[in-house]
C-alpha cells in the first residue's frame, strides 16, 4: 500500500497528530507498555479533536483509566482458554469453532476483550505447525458446521495468506459456513482489494462478513462503498457492536447506528454487553440501561434494525440474550401478560372486547 498515510502507533504519533495533549504523552506511554495503540488514517480523520467527548476518540485514543483494573475483570474475560483444544482454535459450541489466525489489527480498540493478547509483544501470525494442527482439528470434528475467522482481524491478512486459509478449509466437507469478524471495511476501507473480494467469493463455502462498528460516523461513504463490494459479490454482511458508555449508550445514537447498518445492507446482528476485560470499567454500562435501550429501540425503529442484546458469560459459559422480557405467565393455563413497546401490559389471549385504544407513535 505504498503512498498511504502511515497509521498512528505511539503516544508521540498521537501528539503530533493533535489527538493528544503533549502533557499527556508520558502517561499514555505507560498505557502503551501494556496495551497496543493503533489508529488508521481513516480513524484519525473521523475524530473531532476539539471535542473532549468525541465518541470516535474515546474508542481508540488511550486513556490512563485503562491502568485501573477492577476486581471482577480478567485477562480472559469470556473463558476462551478453557475451550481451546489446540492452539488457534476455540470450540465452545458444538457446531462452530473460532480459528484465531493472527494477533494484530489495523486499529486497537481501548475496550477489546482480547486486549491482553493482541498487538506488539504477541506472535503476529499463528505459526505454520500450529495452523496445520488447527485445521486438522477442524477436519477431524464433523460437527463443526461453521468456522469463524478471528484473531486479530482476519482482513489484515494479505491476499496470499487469506487465500491459503480458504484453500485449507475448502476440502473440509462438513464446514459449510465461513464467517469473518472485522473492522477493516469501516476503519481502513482502502485496504479492501479486488483480491480479497475474489478470494471470499470463490471460497467454495458460504461466506459471511461481520462488521464491527459502534458509532454511525464510522459508516462513512467510503466504508459503505467497501461493504457494498462484499455484498455485490454475493457475500452477506452482519453487524456487531459493543454497548459503550460515552459512545453509543443513548437511544438517538443507537438508532442512527442501526439505521446506518441497514441502509448499507448490513443486517444488525449482536449488540454486546461489554466483556470484563482489564481496564475497561469506564466503558461499561449497566445491564438495566442496556435493556431499557433495547426496549426503546423495539418501539421506535423497523424490525430490520433490531440486534440481539448479548452477554458473553465469564468462565466460558457462552453467550446469552439479555434483552427485555415482554412475556409473563399468569396463573392460568395458556394465559400470558404481554408488554408492548410502551411498557403497557395486555392479557393474551384477550377476554371480551377491549375498550382501550392503542397508543399512537
Which residues are known to be catalytic? Answer: 92-93, 96, 105, 109, 112, 114, 275, 312, 319
Residue owning grid cell 412475556? 327
Residues 169 and 197: beta-carbon distance below 8 Å: no
Cell output for 132: 496445520
Instruction: Mention every residue, 6+ apart, whose C-beta is less than 8 A from residue 341.
Output: 295, 296, 298, 299, 300
Instruction: Mention every residue, 6+ apart, whose C-beta is less than 8 A from residue 352.
Output: none
Residues 83 and 127: beta-carbon distance below 8 Å: no
- Between CA 79 and CA 58 the distance in angstroms is 26
For helices 194-201 and 159-169, the axis angle rounded to 10 degrees is: 0
Q: How does DSSP classify residue 268?
A: E
Cα–Cα distance list, 99 to 79, 88, 142 (Å): 15, 6, 16
Residue 193 DSSP SS3: coil
Say how many residues make up the chain: 361
Amino acid at each position: 500500500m505504498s503512498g498511504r498515510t502511515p497509521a498512528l502507533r505511539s503516544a508521540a504519533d498521537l501528539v503530533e497528530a493533535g489527538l493528544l495533549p503533549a502533557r499527556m504523552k508520558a502517561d499514555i506511554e505507560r498505557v502503551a507498555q501494556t496495551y497496543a495503540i493503533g489508529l488508521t488514517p481513516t480513524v484519525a480523520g473521523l475524530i473531532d479533536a476539539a471535542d473532549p467527548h468525541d465518541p470516535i476518540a474515546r474508542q481508540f485514543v488511550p486513556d490512563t483509566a485503562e491502568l485501573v483494573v477492577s476486581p471482577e475483570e480478567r485477562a480472559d474475560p469470556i473463558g476462551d482458554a478453557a475451550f481451546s483444544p489446540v492452539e488457534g482454535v476455540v470450540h465452545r459450541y458444538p457446531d462452530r469453532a473460532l480459528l484465531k489466525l493472527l494477533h494484530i489489527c489495523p486499529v486497537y480498540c481501548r475496550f477489546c476483550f482480547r486486549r491482553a493478547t493482541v498487538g506488539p509483544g504477541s506472535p503476529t501470525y499463528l505459526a505454520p505447525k500450529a495452523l496445520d494442527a488447527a485445521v486438522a482439528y477442524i477436519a477431524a470434528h464433523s460437527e463443526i458446521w461453521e468456522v469463524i475467522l478471528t484473531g486479530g482481524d482476519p482482513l489484515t491478512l494479505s491476499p496470499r495468506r487469506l487465500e491459503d486459509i480458504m484453500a485449507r478449509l475448502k476440502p473440509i466437507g462438513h464446514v459449510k459456513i465461513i464467517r469473518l469478524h472485522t473492522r477493516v471495511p469501516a476503519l481502513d476501507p482502502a485496504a479492501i482489494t479486488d483480491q480479497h473480494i475474489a478470494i471470499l467469493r470463490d471460497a467454495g463455502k458460504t461466506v459471511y462478513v461481520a462488521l464491527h462498528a459502534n458509532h454511525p460516523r464510522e459508516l462513512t461513504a467510503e466504508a459503505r462503498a467497501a461493504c457494498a463490494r462484499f455484498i455485490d459479490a454475493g457475500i452477506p454482511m452482519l453487524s456487531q457492536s459493543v454497548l459503550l458508555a460515552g459512545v453509543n449508550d443513548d437511544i438517538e445514537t443507537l438508532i442512527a447506528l442501526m439505521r446506518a447498518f441497514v441502509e448499507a445492507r448490513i443486517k444488525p446482528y449482536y449488540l454486546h454487553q461489554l466483556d470484563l476485560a482489564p481496564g475497561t470499567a469506564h466503558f461499561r454500562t449497566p445491564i438495566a440501561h442496556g435493556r431499557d435501550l433495547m426496549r426503546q429501540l423495539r418501539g421506535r425503529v423497523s424490525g430490520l434494525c433490531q440486534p440481539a442484546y448479548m452477554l458473553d458469560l465469564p468462565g466460558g459459559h457462552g453467550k446469552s440474550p439479555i434483552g427485555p422480557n415482554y412475556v409473563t405467565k399468569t396463573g392460568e393455563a395458556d394465559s400470558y401478560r404481554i408488554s408492548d413497546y410502551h411498557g403497557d401490559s395486555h392479557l393474551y389471549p384477550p377476554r371480551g372486547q377491549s375498550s382501550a385504544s392503542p397508543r399512537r407513535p
